[in-house]
Amino acid sequence: KDFRNNVKPNWCPGCGDFSVQAAIQRAAASAGLTPENLAVVSGIGCSGRISGYINSYGFHGIHGRSLPIAQGVKMANRELTVIASGGDGDGFAIGMGHTIHAIRRNIDVTYIVMDNQIYGLTKGQTSPRSDMGFKTKSTPGGSIESALNVMEMALSAGGTFVAQSFSTDLKELTSIIEQGIAHKGFSLINVFSPCVTFNKVNTYDWFKENITKLSTIEGYDPSDRGMAMNTLMKHNGLVTGLIYQNKEKPSYEQLVDGFKDEALASQPLELKKDKFDQLVNEFM
Ligand code: SF4
């Protein structure tokens, strides 16, 4: 199925987000989805535009709030594959409260973060992913805060699918997204997606020099949480691939009474009288 539409992205030429868009489209096709059973929800930022560039249901939400909307979509219609997306500022600053609770809740949503270590849409300020010493318009003397290691944070919060990729590695990124879609639970995929206009430090070349692919580490086992944490600490978070997966933990919607068997969206609209009476009695 074709997940391309006729909307031309207005990202800067060379922006890493183009590859993320292509990877989502390829992964959705490869997973056998159709546009009518995929929903892409985004927040605010350059990357937030992505929900309008994919032929599927789309919802361009508000800043830091892609996850509450995506979780609502999944709870209403668990038959849909739901992808939430946004940038590092969107998800790890204003949206961090939602991110950390969605991780521990383990609802079946794939969250793809386009991490460029800066705020691009507002023309270049430090984000929670900016390195210490990083000079921007908001930190002319260099940032005095250290960067958040999001993969370590996700592991600590009980993440069941924690992965990272690089936007130029389309093959790996597509595979990771496809695995995230297949995972029954919350999947966090952080993608190094360079901002060519405002971040002149963390460039494509910088990532190529500093990233270690997990596939090159002999004996790496993504089911071993301790190994995952040690590897992240050793490489300062700069690894790509499937870092950790726990296939045993049930997803949130599998545990919620009343949602186990039938999607809310497919239940009849009329409220049955006995259910209505029961509801009224509960609130009396
Ligand atoms: Fe991409 Fe940066 Fe341009 Fe935004 S400002 S579209 S993040 S290159």
Choosing from 8, 12, 49, 168 the residue with most ligand 1 atoms within 8 A of its CB, the one to mutate for a pocket test is 12
Does some domain include residue 277? no
SS3 call for 237: coil
Ligand 1 atom closest to 10 (CA):
6
Does some domain include residue 39? yes
Q: Which residue has the higher pLDDT, 278 or 53?
A: 53
Does some domain include residue 26? yes
The complex's ipTM works out to 0.99
CA distance 45 to 111: 15
Structural domain total, the chain: 1
pLDDT in tens, 32-87: 999 999 999 999 999 999 999 999 999 999 999 999 999 999 998 989 999 999 99
- 90 CA distance to ligand 1 middle (Å): 14
Mean pLDDT of all residues in the chain?
94
Q: CA end-to-end span of the chain, whole Å?
A: 51
Alpha carbon nearest to ligand 1 atom 2, residue:
195
Q: Which residues form the domain of 88?
A: 17-258
Residue 279's pLDDT is what? Answer: 76
Does some domain include residue 217? yes
Residue 263's pLDDT is what? Answer: 73
Alpha carbon nearest to ligand 1 atom 1, residue:
15
Does some domain include residue 282? no
Does some domain include residue 189? yes
pLDDT in tens, 119-174: 999 999 999 999 999 999 899 999 999 999 999 999 999 999 999 999 999 999 99
CA 211 to chain centre: 20
Does some domain include residue 79? yes
Q: Ligand 1 site: residues with CB under 6 angstroms?
A: 11-12, 15, 17, 46, 116, 120-121, 195-198
Alpha carbon nearest to ligand 1 atom 5, residue:
120
CA distance 242 to 257: 32
Kindly state the tokens that stand for 206: 């910088």
Query: Residue 266: which pLDDT band, with cuts at 50, 70 and 90?
Result: confident
Does some domain include residue 283? no
- 14 CA distance to ligand 1 middle (Å): 8
pLDDT in tens, 222-263: 999 999 999 999 999 999 999 999 999 999 988 887 666 677
> Residue 91 is part of a domain; what is its CATH number?
3.40.50.970
- 121 CA distance to ligand 1 middle (Å): 7
